[in-house]
Amino acid sequence: MHELDHYIYPHRVLHWLVAAAVLVSLATGLTLGTLGFERTANAFGTAFTNVMYTGHKTLGVTILLLMTLRIITRVAFVVPDHDPPLHPFQRVVSKSVHHLLYIALVLMPLIGWAATATGGYPVEFFSWHLPGLLSENPELSRTLFGWHAWLGWAILVLVTLHVLGALFHWRIKRDSVIKRMSLFD
């Protein structure tokens, strides 16, 4: 198939890396946010809970880096036309969901970073501690973690809509939309 039937290869690789990282971030984040440290530690053990916190923050910062690369590969290279063209309604809905996902996936790690730093916790990236950049402010941290939780649910809704849309094109309309992002054909 001609290259212009697809997003460029690096953009497709970034799509699937971000997709996997977002699903794991949502799963670990929702577990930690719902149970809190104590109950997560009772359920899974303290060592594993600490790994979940470090892993969640590391993945979150990684998503921020990958999204930066992704925005570059999105704006710097041609996006393939839809063939056949999408119905105008589908085009508006899918574009809106894509744009909202981009905005949410940049804001989410920044809010998580700021909430963590203002709470006086380390901003961990693997075994490094990144600069918090903001001074301790427990009240601000609580507000930011509130936004982090709210945006987490919003991302879950957007991803669900997006995946339902992709499945609709792939299994029901059987058009070429899924191929645009496929790594294999």
* Contact flag: residue 114 with ligand HEM (CB under 6 A): no
Compute the distance between CA of residue 167 and CA of residue 175 in angstroms, rounded to an integer: 11
* Contact flag: residue 144 with ligand HEM (CB under 6 A): no
> In the 8-state DSSP scheme, what is residue 185?
-
CB of 130 to ligand HEM, least distance (A): 8
- Give whichever of 98 and 137 is closer to ligand HEM, judged by the CB atom: 98
- Give whichever of 118 and 123 is closer to ligand HEM, judged by the CB atom: 123
Contact pick of 6, 49, 66, 105 for ligand HEM (by CB under 6 A): 105
Which residues, 6+ apart, have CB-to-CB distance to 65 below 8 Å?
none
* Contact flag: residue 12 with ligand HEM (CB under 6 A): no
Residue ranges in 38-77 that form contacts with ligand HEM under rule CB under 6 A: 53, 56-57, 60-61, 63, 74
Compute the distance between CA of residue 32 and CA of residue 41 in angstroms, rounded to an integer: 10
Compute the distance between CA of residue 143 and CA of residue 60 in angstroms, rounded to an integer: 19
- Give whichever of 53 and 118 is closer to ligand HEM, judged by the CB atom: 53
CB of 84 to ligand HEM, least distance (A): 12
DSSP string, 106-144: HHHHHHHHHHHHHTT--EEETTEEE---S---HHHHHHH
Letter string b/e over residues 60-98, b meaning 16 or more CB atoms within 10 A of that residue's CB: bbbbbebbeebeebbeeeeebebeeebeeebeeebeebe
Binding site for ligand HEM (CB under 6 A): 15, 18-19, 22-23, 25-26, 29-30, 32-34, 36, 53, 56-57, 60-61, 63, 74, 94, 98, 101-102, 105, 108-109, 112-113, 116, 123, 145, 148-149, 152, 155, 159, 162-163, 166-167, 177-178, 180-181
